[in-house]
Amino acid sequence: MIRFDSDYIEGCIPEILEALQNTNEEQTIGYGVDPHCENARALIRKAVGRADADVHFLVGGTQANITVITSVLKHYQGAVCAVTGHINEHETGALEACGHKCLTIQSDNGTLTAQQVDQLIYDHYHGSAVEHTVQPGLVYISFPTELGTLYSRKQLEDLYAVCRKNNIPLFIDGARLGYALASDKNDMTMQDIANNCDMFYIGGTKVGALFGEAVVITNPAYKKDFRYNIKQRGGMLAKGRLLGIQFEQLFTDDRYMKVSRHCMDMAKKLADGFASRGYSFAFEAETNQLFPILPDKKAEELAKEFAFTPWGRVDENHQIFRFVTSFMTKPESVDRLIEML
């Protein structure tokens, strides 16, 4: 069985295992204030071009999302997001369990437009019952989105301008940030991301690490006391250095982007393979998550050899499926899959 069902099916880049080995007997203080974490912070600050940023390391995405969002919101505020947003759909109500509503916006491709967000905020303050409804307190987007799609620089700048106009912070979930940046459809750098939001996270779990997400807070208004939130939400890793060591390796020698580019090469090859066989996509094939529409028969055939995920029925004989490449996907696996299409 060759797996294309997610980008968290393998381990990590070899340099991380090597570093874990080399540091194993080191004694360091716990909870993320050791030299490895400090060094990783410095490397990330440099990579994102913001010497002023606060950087915190968390274990996983849901944890990163609730920790960041609850650090920003007042009790009566909610998070504006696409109806397809990860916080709305696939975190078992983790944010609601912390007391906050997702204020959802319909979206065909997983992105939000500046105009939609501006309208939602306007409507809130101009409704007949303002304080009877949840106040928008933060805008959450994913880059790339849960449907593998991208924002252009212009779209992100417009969205962030609306956020600043309305005095509401913008948070970018970058669980797969590397794949967005490495896409040939992308026109942004990591610095552009850092400069067009108030906080974001750089996903490690799906991009080269065993686990780990690096939260980057650029807006000083949201830096204070952040570590209390980490501890309260269960995210304060005792051996915090495990995260520092991993991000040290990922942000040395441009490895984060190198493995991202490999993944995107595999994704592009696979997307071309689907296209060349005449299959269309439910959403634009812009990153490492591909959503081809396949006949049931073909899918059954492929399922004998490959793992991938059904994503909704199109008609009696066709479904959308999700195929995902990762930083460790082998070219021969993609070749074999294309051969079978």
Q: Which of residues 183-212 bind a copy of itself (CB under 8 A)?
A: 205-206, 210-211
260/206 Cα distance (integer angstroms): 10
Q: Which is nearer to a copy of itself, 158 or 198 (CB)?
A: 198
Supply the minimum distance, in Å, between the C-beta of residue 124 and a copy of itself.
11
114/122 Cα distance (integer angstroms): 12
Q: Does 129 bind a copy of itself (CB under 8 A)?
A: yes
Q: Which is nearer to a copy of itself, 196 or 204 (CB)?
A: 204
Q: Which is nearer to a copy of itself, 279 or 306 (CB)?
A: 306
- The string of DSSP codes covering 132-172 is GSPEEEEEEEESS-TTS----HHHHHHHHHHHHHTT--EEE
**Contacts with 158 (C-beta within 8 Å, 6 or more apart), sequence order:** 113, 114
Q: Does 27 bind a copy of itself (CB under 8 A)?
A: yes
Give the pairing of strands 135-142 and 170-174: parallel
| 281: DSSP letter | B
Supply the minimum distance, in Å, between the C-beta of residue 181 and a copy of itself.
20
Supply the minimum distance, in Å, between the C-beta of residue 314 and a copy of itself.
16
Q: Which is nearer to a copy of itself, 187 or 296 (CB)?
A: 296
The region of 89-97, 159-167, 189-197, 268-276 touching a copy of itself under the rule CB under 8 A is 89-97
Q: Which is nearer to a copy of itself, 17 or 303 (CB)?
A: 17
Q: Which is nearer to a copy of itself, 172 or 209 (CB)?
A: 209
Q: Does 74 bind a copy of itself (CB under 8 A)?
A: yes
8 A C-beta contact, residue 180 and residue 174: yes
8 A C-beta contact, residue 21 and residue 325: no
Q: Of residues 101, 176, 262, 268, which one binds a copy of itself by CB under 8 A?
A: 101
The region of 42-50, 133-141, 194-202, 282-290 touching a copy of itself under the rule CB under 8 A is 133-141
8 A C-beta contact, residue 149 and residue 111: yes
Supply the minimum distance, in Å, between the C-beta of residue 273 and a copy of itself.
20
Q: Does 133 bind a copy of itself (CB under 8 A)?
A: yes
Supply the minimum distance, in Å, between the C-beta of residue 73 and a copy of itself.
8
Q: Which of residues 280-339 bind a copy of itself (CB under 8 A)?
A: 307, 309-311, 328
Give the full edge-to-edge strand order of the sheet including 170-174.
54-58, 213-217, 199-203, 170-174, 135-142, 77-82, 102-105
175/154 Cα distance (integer angstroms): 21
The region of 97-105, 192-200, 259-267, 282-290 touching a copy of itself under the rule CB under 8 A is 97-105
Q: Which of residues 219-258 bind a copy of itself (CB under 8 A)?
A: 225, 227-239, 242
Supply the minimum distance, in Å, between the C-beta of residue 255 and a copy of itself.
15
| 292: DSSP letter | B
Structure token pair of residue 66: 């609730």
Among residues 56, 50, 52, the alpha carbon closest in space to that of 191 is found at 50
Q: Does 37 bind a copy of itself (CB under 8 A)?
A: no
**Residue 41's Cα: distance from chain center in Å?**
19
89/67 Cα distance (integer angstroms): 17
Q: Which of residues 52-71 bind a copy of itself (CB under 8 A)?
A: 59-63, 66-67, 70-71
339/132 Cα distance (integer angstroms): 57
Q: Which of residues 7-26 bind a copy of itself (CB under 8 A)?
A: 8-12, 14, 17, 20-21, 23-26
Q: Give the other-Cβ count within 10 Å of 46's Cβ.
A: 11
Partners of 174 in the β-ladder: 202
Q: Of residues 3, 153, 269, 298, which one binds a copy of itself by CB under 8 A?
A: 3
